[in-house]
Amino acid sequence: MFEENQLAFDRVQLLNEEGKINNPSSDMPISNDTMLHMYKWMKKARLMDEKLLRMQRQGRIGTYAPLSGQEAAQVGSAFALEKSDWLCPSYRDLAACMVHGMPFDQVLRYVKGHLYGSRNAEGLRMLPIQIIIAAQTLHAVGTAFAAKLKHEHTVSVSYFGDGATSQGDFHEALNFASVYQLPVVFFCQNNHYAISVPRKQQTASNTIAQKAIAYGIKGVQVDGNDLVGVYQVMKEAVQRARNDEGPTLIEAETYRLGPHTTSDDPNKYRSKEEVQQWMEKRDPIIRVKKYLISNQLWNEDEEQSLVASLQQEMDIEIDQVEKEPTPSLAEAFDYVYATKSNQLVEQQKYVTTFSQDKGGDLHG
């Protein structure tokens, strides 16, 4: 008999809140150069997030789901992947998407609701950003199953939040992946809130990681604000999947510093003291910066130069994308299927003719 209080996980943490390695005698899984490279990605993600939040308030993009606070979870995990691996993201995973190859101008098209916002660059193995909660867990199982049938040594990764683990799709995905021993990693960013519902009110499990036990797969809980720990557990999970040793469920315990989306007010469901504590003591970016500075790998002058460079780079790309012409409605029919059905061809002709008759105005 299993008892809930007998289930125990050792929560992985390698880089602590003070920016120090917990066990200095152990080998670092990341070189100094890679650590610095990852830090720059985390800074870019934070600056991008702040800029997009401001743009939403100015009416320049649509509803937006901020990611600040989750940079270590996303950057650390995405760095453990190969370009040939499949990424199945949700709407809050833009940092992971960019590390895997999604360019910033494409991020802008996505958040602007541009017709081509979900059209990935040729060769980029990433499914369109998923809005339906937990649906991407099934999609990752699909690409992993296909890879296994084709004898490809690629791995599929599904990113989702703690609320997704209460959805049916999540459980079906883990069950199928376990039965068929598929090369897939389920990466849960437990940011403590499913929109406005605290984790303890939407699942009674002590941890998300322990849900893996029910499906006969490996479960790992890691400090999601620890860049080094996240990278290591993800690297191990990816390697297991690539070696045909089956799927893994990773619970990265992190915290969303901002609202669920720009449509909600987090002050309604959590205290300012709670947020302040995470910002001051557990911010993943501050933690890595402390490590870099204490090891003489970074300084404040380089920090200011990086911020200025990233801001300029983003401003240029934003300006270019905002000048792009709006696609016509008829173009939407070109990307439904690889080969258009007769019905689609007929509908596209109707829309084109209707638009011409109205002089381009489709209202009324």
Residues labelled as active-site residues? 256, 260, 269
Q: Which of 45, 54, 47 is nearest to 75 (CA)?
A: 45
Q: What is the rounded distance in angstroms from the CA atom of residue 91 to the CA atom of residue 261?
A: 10
Q: Which of 94, 116, 89, 87 is nearest to 50 (CA)?
A: 94
Helices 32-57 + 104-111 axis angle, to 10 = 30
Amino acid at 235: K
* Residues 6 or more apart whose Cβ sits within 8 Å of residue 263: 63
∠ Cα 88 105 114 (to 5°): 75
CA dihedral of 28, 33, 37, 40, whole degrees rounded to 10: 100
* Residues 6 or more apart whose Cβ sits within 8 Å of residue 106: 117, 120, 121
